[in-house]
Amino acid sequence: MTDILITNGIVVTMDPSRRVIEDGAVAITGDRITDIGTTAEIMARHHAPTVIDASRQIVMPGFIDAHAHAGHGFIKTLGGGDSKAWYEACGYTYTQGSTPAFWRAEAQLASLERLRFGVTTGVSLLGGGDTILRTDDPVYGDAHCDGVAEVGTRSIVAIGPTRPPHPLTYGTWDGATATTWPVDFDQQFATCQTLISRWHGSHGQRLNIALITPTLREEHAKDLSADDMARARAQAVKTSALAREHGLVFTQDGHTKGSVAYAHEMGILGPEALLSHSTNLTAEEIAICADTGTCIAHNPSAIASVLGRCPAPELIDAGVTVAIGSDATAPDRNSEMFRHMQQCMHYHRTFFRDPKMMPPGKVLEMTTIDAAKAVGMEREIGSLEIGKKADVILVDLHKAHMYPLHMPLFRLVCFANGNDVTTVIVDGRIAMRDGKAQFVNEDKVLAIAQAEAELMLDRGGFRPLLATPERFWGHTRG
């Protein structure tokens, strides 16, 4: 028996023919899409206890965020633009100044943000950057996954070792005092193995594990000893092999000119590899990505995209799968994929001085079906097709900034924002309806998040970082 019918909507399928059904309907049974067609066709074939009227709404697959960071939801704008202070806050918090309660509360806050913006699946690095991940003990990854599972979205949690030299000092709090201990690669690797066995593919594939190792660039060869550089290479190869063994996404953060060639030389690229940022790549490196099937997470709103340019159009033209990531939620961006699609279009149009670059349809692909391929789930999500997982969102067109009701695809990409999402279905379950989360109490999530953030500020002595910077007003440069 059909469980849910969505009727009377403009169905944007993102299927191979990119069908758009003007008066469309979707039938859902269990966790799968079982029929798609016009409202008249679907209503004639199906009855369901739950019918959602999508009149004057777009019905589309949920957004997929190819790159973001767990933990950042509580740190966000600390330092007010002082990157050094912000990174130091991340480094301390993600190694010594956080508890399992911190990671669970932040996961719920970030998942709730994603839910409200129609992001049904997101990659979340369990910490900051490519070097400071909370992988000293499985309890922190457990807490993140548990928090996401309750909200009801999908999370691909990236875990892995820090860059040598090891050991690195980690610690925790008992409520008043901190206890610290040394953590080496073997302990972090064991944590990864434990989290894979506990969580990968669980909750109807809503919780998955990815593996990450630090990106190695030219400066690391200068900063690390020869022995530590050799260890970093060996550890990257071992972690990559573990990802291949279990069929996991293998990701790296912070790629730029030269680092892709270095990764290729180590043999860690391939269809399971997802490289974030990837700015200033050479023509040779673009060819390497195409030849190896390596995917790219382009973060057009990130600081890395200010300091360099990801050649996303050139990569796509070479046959590389490129997805959009938010790099959320710090220091100046959230997880709203409408924002990042629009930023992506303007970013490359400005560079090429060409308003025809990156059409709306391309960036919509980069947040749906292309992103599904980048995270290894194109057979399950990313489009509305019979047999795929029922990850569906509804976007309200009945608003002043979306009218008149012409050219809905352009309205969707160029004018919509996250607050236009009304309903979110993940894995066939209605996780948000009429703007209200169904599985968690939003007020409670926010209250716990506030309390945990306050504790974090006190543990790290970060309250001075809340001050408004002196050059906030009246200056053209902070």
Which residues sit opposite 430 in a β-bridge?
425
Query: Which three-class secondary structure state does DSSP give residue 54?
Result: coil
Q: Is the pLDDT of residue 203 over 80?
A: yes
Distances (CA, A) of 384 to 15, 35, 196, 207: 6, 9, 29, 21
421 CB contacts (<8 Å, ≥6 apart)? Answer: 116, 117, 118, 393, 394, 395, 396, 432, 435
What own/partner pairs with CB < 8 Å and gap ≥ 24 does 347-355 have? 347/300, 347/305, 347/309, 348/300, 348/312, 348/313, 351/309, 352/313
pLDDT digits (tens, 9 = 90+) for 438-465: 999 999 999 999 999 999 999 999 999 9
Q: Which residue has the higher pLDDT, 433 or 216?
A: 433
Q: What is the pTM of this model?
A: 0.97
Q: Which residue has the higher pLDDT, 449 or 176?
A: 449
Complete domains list, the chain, with CATH: 4-61+387-437 (2.30.40.10), 63-374 (3.20.20.140)
Q: Is the pLDDT of residue 130 over 70?
A: no
Q: Which residue has the higher pLDDT, 177 or 2?
A: 2
Residue 129: band (very low, low, confident or very high) from pLDDT cuts 50, 70, 90: low
pLDDT digits (tens, 9 = 90+) for 206-227: 999 999 999 998 888 788 899 9
pLDDT digits (tens, 9 = 90+) for 51-65: 999 999 999 999 999
Hey, what are 31's tokens?
């966790």
Task: Give the relative orientation of helices 283-292 and 259-266 as an angle to the nearest 10 degrees.
Answer: 40
Compute the distance between CA of residue 416 and CA of residue 290 in angstroms, rounded to an integer: 33
With pLDDT > 70 as the criterion, what percentage of the chain qualifies?
A: 99
Query: Which three-class secondary structure state does DSSP give residue 46?
Result: coil
Report whether 65 contacts 107 (CB < 8 A).
no
Q: Is the pLDDT of residue 274 over 90?
A: yes
Predicted pLDDT of residue 223? 84
Compute the distance between CA of residue 206 and CA of residue 39 in angstroms, rounded to an integer: 29
Q: Which residue has the higher pLDDT, 178 or 112?
A: 112
Compute the distance between CA of residue 318 and CA of residue 100 in angstroms, rounded to an integer: 43
pLDDT digits (tens, 9 = 90+) for 367-414: 999 999 999 999 999 999 999 999 999 999 999 999 999 999 999 999
Report whether 145 contacts 110 (CB < 8 A).
no
Compute the distance between CA of residue 59 and CA of residue 368 in angstroms, rounded to an integer: 13
pLDDT digits (tens, 9 = 90+) for 335-371: 999 999 999 999 999 999 999 999 999 999 999 999 9
143 CB contacts (<8 Å, ≥6 apart)? Answer: 100, 101, 102, 103, 104, 107
Segment 257-282 shows an average pLDDT of: 97
Compute the distance between CA of residue 345 and CA of residue 300 in angstroms, rounded to an integer: 9
Average pLDDT, the chain: 96
